[in-house]
Amino acid sequence: MLLLRSSPFLHHLPTPTSLTSITSHTHHLQPHFPLRLPVPTTTTTTTLSSQRHRLFPSKSIPLLRCSALSSSPVTSQLKDSLMYSRAYWVSESIIAWDVDVGINGSLYLFASETASLSITDGDYGIQGHDVKFKLEEDTHGLPQNVMEKFPHIKDYRAFKVPPSLDAKVLLKCQLAVAAFDDVGKCSNITGLQLPGILDELFSYSGPLGAVYSTEAIALFLWAPTAQAVRACIYKDSSGGSPLEIVQLEETKGVWSTKGPKSWDGCYYVYEVSVYHPSTLQIVKCHANDPYARGLSANGGRTLFVDLDSDTLKPDGWEKLALEKPDLLSFSDTSIYELHVRDFSASDLTVDNEFRGGYLAFTLQDSAGIRHLKKLSDAGLTHVHLLPAFQFADVDDEKEKWKSVDTEILEKFSPDSAEQQALITAIQNSDGYNWGYNPVLWGVPKGSYASNPNGSCRVIEFRRMVKALNHIGLRVVLDVVYNHLHASGPYDENSVLDKIVPGYYLRRNTDGFIENSTCVNNTASEHFMVERLIIDDLLHWVVNYKVDGFRFDLMGHIMKRTMMKAKDAISSLTKEKNGVDGSSVYIYGEGWDFGEVARNGRGVNASQVNLSGTGIGSFNDRIRDAILGGSPFGHPLQQGFVTGLLLQPNDHDHGTAAGEMLAASKDHIQVGMAANLRDFVLTNCLGKEVKGSEVLTHGSAPVGFASNPTETVNYVSAHDNETLFDIISLKTPMEISVNERCWINHLATSIIALSQGIPFFHAGDELLRSKSMDRDSYNSGDWFNRLDFTYNSNNWGVGLPPKQKNEKSWPLIKPRLADPSFKPQRSHILAAVENFSNLLRIRYSSPLFRLRTATAIQERVRFHNTGPSSIPGVIVMSIEDGHESQHGLSQLDPIYSYIVVVINARPTEVSFTSPALRAKHFELHPVQLMSTDEVIKASTYEESTGCFVVPSRRTSVFVEPRKF
């Protein structure tokens, strides 16, 4: 909607259609009563019953009685059926329901404007309805377009709605369909799900939200099922009586009004009178604007705010698009995942008032900023911020937060349960949460701002983006469109489900909200949900100039939505919109599960489905192969770098450990080739296979991408244990902390030197620990601390919170209690240097960042393959062309050939390759200049093609063009 800001103001819209126009055909209508809406106490409104034609009963309708499932009185099972919505009004002419009415049975649609439908005993039948209509079955079944839109009900029966019926008015009522047997007894009844017909009749592309013009402010709200809408205007962020209450008027499902410019800086709340299926009542819902661009603390009220106002723009804001860090290709992207609060909450070099918030990123010389500058200088391109929109479970008003004195926590032993007990006692009242519990997508989170009221959060978020850009880092926003924190008519954090109940949230075949993503799954397959998502993304790009989006549980979003969003963003230009949309990178979690699995609700944005789109998906295959097992498997399951076969722990891996290690190497090699589905390599059995023909343990293809930017390679993220913690858990207890640190580096090196997009969790380069917490979303600053002074990695700060970790406490406790597990400052400093060096190596040559699948297939080769290969060793070469020779084009002016040798073995390894003999390889200059004396022992012998690499090291050999 940001593109509509300059649109001519749309004047007051006409009053809603009345029930008089439901139909001019009176057949199948029962006697009715005047239909009246709840009338606001201070304003007038048009009722559905105004000026309607009289509807006459049909004499042909048999008496309809509710029968008990066995005998009268009616059973509670049938009476409770109105709580369900098992039928679907899928189009204006079709209702779908999985019910057989029999040869002589009948089906009726009932409507009650006052939500008075009820089922009674005896001959009174279904009562409380204002009108009812007989439906005839369509023996042809559901139309093709309906089955495509709603594949989960493709086998339902289709019932024809009378063509003269005006559905637009009925949709504001309580609705039910009931089946009757041949003697008129009710055998089944249910409510209806309405998204299909709402999309058909009310899809809308005009202005929404608060739209500013020269003289006025207009409000537009899409609420086609509402019976009345009022806007309560307030002067202050909380308390007090409204300055005025304005009745909105409706046209085609959109309610609007116009107000004076003096509303700017005031607040408003919508009061929506609407039938809510969760209550079976007409309710008055008080809700924020779904298109809110500002809020009061905790989303109590929506702020009138003009994002185009110069007072809300940092100096130079309009020129920021011209000053963005260079990004020639998405293949040049590298991502650092960071939580806004983690970045500075524990940083004593940041003023107390800035800690944990947006403004901490605007400082010039804090420990955190110095660290980010170091990574940027080494080549890092993007900072990915965990959710920073308005989310629940952290109070925006800091003075209400509770905390635990760290001096008390520091007195307990490293393996004590006392720390977690004190933290969890106040965890819902402190200032910490990851933020994956969205309330309003389009407003920055208030708790990160210096003042949650007014427009502070707007300008401070912008200052953060500008500051990060100026130190060479683009900004990715973590978006959570797959679910909402709350639903229903009364929850203070519920918004969309108050405005159009039953539309925005995906429901199961009983009519209840799907919760596979956590809670309150959204339904991007519905037109206005998809539109809201796309509008929100455009808003963040244009109004906050963000450079990318990471989609939480992207697989629960439809592929069509993702493609429309990508196209809409890509069309933005510096000239028209002040931003270059073509440089915005989009990626997410393409997991395929829940009700959307196997395209259960349409073609979803899963890993496999997104092949060829240019949208990135997290590569869990390489993560699991590197570390071992999966986040859902046995915690001691080892992988390629954690000692599988070569340095076993106490876990019984069976007799197939060697096969598992070989398979892990295949998975990693596919991942290092950007996880391309068509990349050809020699597998552990000596067969030439494509990436898609290498299978996971669940028989899914390892390779799913068609081009390198569709793969986001990672080994750790905010979810699950940190990299250092999982290594400390899976490796044998008797090895040294120094060895664990080098295993940490080894895992990171695989990601850093792979084709595709490398992704790093903040702190991987600091040996970050969360004291082995596997889910620290609500574990407070104590377990989530980052120390950019490099004095501590936060290991051993107590047993992690009981709720998510208690089952693993017997494994965790002895490790935390052992002082030898804790890294020293020297280890952390070495880790930072190693990580920076990996970035420098990646950005030293375009050969590490090949832009096409063809280039990867032509240039990347894996050696040490097949059944006779050395276990635990990966050898990858990348070849460049020569200007004087035909064949490969020349991409790198410095190096003509690169070889990466990854040695996960606990001992030095020698590997001889005839294919690489007679080259002029030398150790990469970055590694030669490092403080790691061990890596400098890596050698290559030209006459034999023999590489020697120390234990648990990744050595990079280059052939300079000078040869």
Number of residues that this document lists for the chain: 963
What b/e sequence results for 236-267 when a residue is b if at least 16 CB atoms lie within 10 Å of its CB, and e otherwise?
Answer: ebeeeebbebbbbbbebbbbbbbbeeebeebb
Q: What order do you get walking across the sheet with 216-222 strand by strand?
A: 209-212, 216-222, 254-260, 249-251
Q: Are 295 and 303 in contact (CB under 8 A)?
A: yes
**Cα–Cα distance, 567 to 586 (Å, whole number):** 11
Q: Which of 706, 727, 734, 955 is nearest to 852 (CA)?
A: 706
Active site residue 765: no
Which sign, positive or negative, has the C-alpha torsion 659, 662, 666, 667? positive
Q: Euclidean distance between the first and final Cα of the chain, in Å?
A: 58
Q: Write the single-letter amino acid at 378.
A: A
Among 589, 624, 765, 892, the active-site one is 589
Angle (deg, nearest 10), helices 620-627 and 657-672: 140
**Cα–Cα distance, 234 to 93 (Å, whole number):** 43
Quick one: residue 409, left, alpha or beta (phi over 0 = left, psi -120 to 50 = alpha)? alpha
Q: Are 445 and 297 in contact (CB under 8 A)?
A: no
Cis ω on the peptide bond leading into residue 444 (within 30° of 0)? no
Q: What are phi and psi of 274, to 5 degrees?
A: -155, 150
Q: Are 725 and 745 in contact (CB under 8 A)?
A: no
Q: What are phi and psi of 438, to 5 degrees?
A: -70, 145
Among 430, 460, 552, 666, the active-site one is 552
**Cα–Cα distance, 342 to 361 (Å, whole number):** 12
Q: What are phi and psi of 229, to 5 degrees?
A: -140, 130
Residue 259 carries which DSSP code? E
Q: Are 104 and 182 in contact (CB under 8 A)?
A: yes
Active site residue 405: no
Residue 18 carries which DSSP code? P
| Number of alpha carbons in the 13 Å side-chain half-sphere of residue 359 | 17
**Cα–Cα distance, 707 to 854 (Å, whole number):** 9
Angle (deg, nearest 10), helices 527-544 and 456-470: 60
Query: How is residue 648 written in tokens?
Result: 């076993």
Q: Are 133 and 108 in contact (CB under 8 A)?
A: yes
Please name the residue that has the structure tokens 């899809």: 203
**Cα–Cα distance, 738 to 526 (Å, whole number):** 54
Q: Write the single-letter amino acid at 125.
A: G
Beta strands in 480-570 (DSSP E): 548-551
Catalytic residue numbers, as ranges: 552, 589
